[in-house]
Structure 1
């Protein structure tokens, strides 16, 4: 069964632009920030060249944005490496789900420093 994309195209374009803006063009051979879309979920990953000879890329997921169609809002989830599960992202004051722009602002802020774009 094929996944039907139910995410607004404007939000897809916004998150792709956001990913492209996180790493300077001269560093993209060493690291990339990618978004993987499946259904109503957008998984944000850091990709680096694999150490193996296959020439592939290793992906490290860090956030997942979930679109709730009825509310037309986005929710933010953080990946817990210890448990291998996604957990609703919370910080104080509590993050409220909302637009794609608001959710990406929260990813940029991420007080827990789950994702650190300033290191590139």
Structure 2
């Protein structure tokens, strides 16, 4: 699949404003978060939008008979790209599913290196991303 399918919810013509290499880095980082042996139960994935990426945790349905076959999706962090500056900014999600700038709360500056943001999500010094 080429990733240019406009009907795809996670990739398509809309995603062309984001640096493709950075999008690939984030997707690779997400895939590496969960061992292959448990991916039938949970995954970490990247949802692509025109100006941001959202890292989400997906879980298999607890009871498919009662709740249906759809996996649940829980946003973990958002990475927003500012094209004019060529920088990525990190956002955290509150209990109401609203995103807030991480740099304002934790003195973490926007960076041209998306891997710096991923390292901060991995490090999670205040347990704001992974709990």
* Shared fold, TM over 0.5: yes
Deviation of 1:4 (Å): 4.9
Match of 1:112 in 2: 126
Aligned: 1:10 with 2:24: no
Aligned: 1:42 with 2:56: no
Match of 2:92 in 1: 78
Aligned with 2:35 (options 21, 24, 27)? 24
Q: Are the equivalent residues in 2 in contact too, given 1:5–1:40 (CA < 8 A)?
A: no
Q: TM-score, normalised by structure 2?
A: 0.79
Higher strand share: 1
Structure with higher RCO (Cα < 8 A, 6+ apart): 1
Report the count of equivalent residues: 115
Query: Any stretches of 5+ residues in structure 2 without a counterpart?
Result: 1-12
Query: Any stretches of 5+ residues in structure 1 without a counterpart?
Result: none
How well do the aligned residues superpose, as a CA RMSD in angstroms?
A: 2.0
Q: Are the equivalent residues in 1 in contact too, given 2:92–2:129 (CA < 8 A)?
A: no
Match of 1:58 in 2: 72
